[in-house]
Chains A and B, each alone.
Chain A
């Protein structure tokens, strides 16, 4: 378990998207197949006109695995399963988005600000889900501002961002350097 810290704009999202294989790395190599990653972004990726259960059933079909009922249960969404996702509150939609992680059966979870708009109770539910996932041999990389009560390595990105800025000035691994 790895917890990413740092102020806004320091590159947490960029790092997560790079790990997920959505962006090419500016430098260095990824020794991990992108197919092992389950990515949960700021946006929940939920269709308002489908019910909560239909949303998860669709993603179960895409991942070719997983049990939507179990995922709903984990995040306490079973009573809401039949409701159209558009009528759910922001926190409930977030839980639905996170339930997809359980569904994906992928070993590495990449979560970008997973606890935004979650209440204290469900923040704990999410923390438990991450613990259970890691106990089964999974891994998680979480970008967050609050203390989840999880025991894991914490990586503050601030010094790296400063180093990257330094590098841009001297050796410039960036992208417009060829024009200087």
Chain B
């Protein structure tokens, strides 16, 4: 599993697009919002937590299609499925690699973009904590969606249609935690619920994703 994780990270770095693309997308979405809603700093401050969460969520979606598709096309997935590591483990390793190349950089970049949107001071810590807690769930749910659509030639749009409704609970709890904190309220309840959603996803979805992959490899 470690070998697979390291290989995926190395591939992401070599092929480019791994770290850079998601971050650039995140920046563009954040930049477009003031153009759309106006530059009034109070309005921006109010919608900043939600906007940042939405941007991170969409950026996560970008690279999902390639998560299994590349390995499926070149035959690596066949060999992984017959290899000594269980396919569930391979799913976790690949989702972890996806998180390290998208979720983690997004979490680290969020405060910088928060400044652009006039995010109120108390919001930064909780925003980062929330993203750190929530983005693993986004990667894991995305891995399930990618496993479902891996055999399809043009699976990208379908993947978004399947995955985005599944992101709803994470988005609600994450954005709620950040906006509560930004308004100076306690945010521990939504943060705990966010963590619960993530833990549940990490515990159960690898099995569903591996089952879907096995079906697609038949």
Contacts and interface: CB of A to CB of B under 8 A. Distances in A.
Interface of A: 17, 20-24, 34-35, 37-39, 41-47, 49-50, 54, 58-64, 100
Contacts of A49: 11, 14-15
B53 to A, nearest CB: 32
Contacts of A45: 71, 74-76, 78-79
Given A43-B73, A62-B84, A63-B84, A50 B79 contact: no
A63 B83 CA distance: 6
B108 interface: no
Given A24-B218, A63-B84, A41 B78 contact: yes
A43 B84 contact: no
10 contacts: A22-B218, A24-B218, A35-B84, A41-B75, A44-B75, A45-B78, A46-B74, A49-B14, A50-B11, A58-B3
Contact of B82 (A34, A43, A54, A64): A34
A59 B73 CA distance: 17
Given A43-B74, A54-B10, A62 B80 contact: yes
Contacts of B4: 58, 61-62
Which 6 A-B pairs give the minimum distances between C-beta atoms?
A61-B3, A43-B75, A49-B14, A45-B75, A45-B76, A58-B7
Given A54-B10, A58-B3, A42 B85 contact: no
Contact of B14 (A34, A50, A58): A50
B15 to A, nearest CB: 6
A21 B218 CA distance: 9
A55 to B, nearest CB: 9
A58 B7 CA distance: 7
Interface string B1-37: 0111011001100110000000000000000000000
Interface string B68-98: 0001011110111111110000000000000
Interface of B: 2-4, 6-7, 10-11, 14-15, 71, 73-76, 78-85, 217-218
Most central of B2, B7, B11 by chain A CB within 10 Å = B7
Nearest to A40: B79
Contact of A22 (B10, B14, B73, B81): B81
Contacts of B78: 17, 20, 22, 39, 41, 43, 45
A47 B76 CA distance: 9
A62 B75 contact: no
A34 B87 CA distance: 13
Contacts of A37: 82
Most central of A23, A37, A38, A39 by chain B CB within 10 Å = A39
B80 to A, nearest CB: 7
Contact of B79 (A39, A42, A47, A64): A39
Contacts of B83: 62-63
A50 B10 contact: yes
Contacts of A58: 3-4, 6-7
A43 B77 CA distance: 10
A49 B14 CA distance: 6
A47 B7 contact: yes
A21 B7 contact: no
A37 B82 CA distance: 7
Most central of B4, B10, B83, B218 by chain A CB within 10 Å = B83
Contacts of A21: 81-82
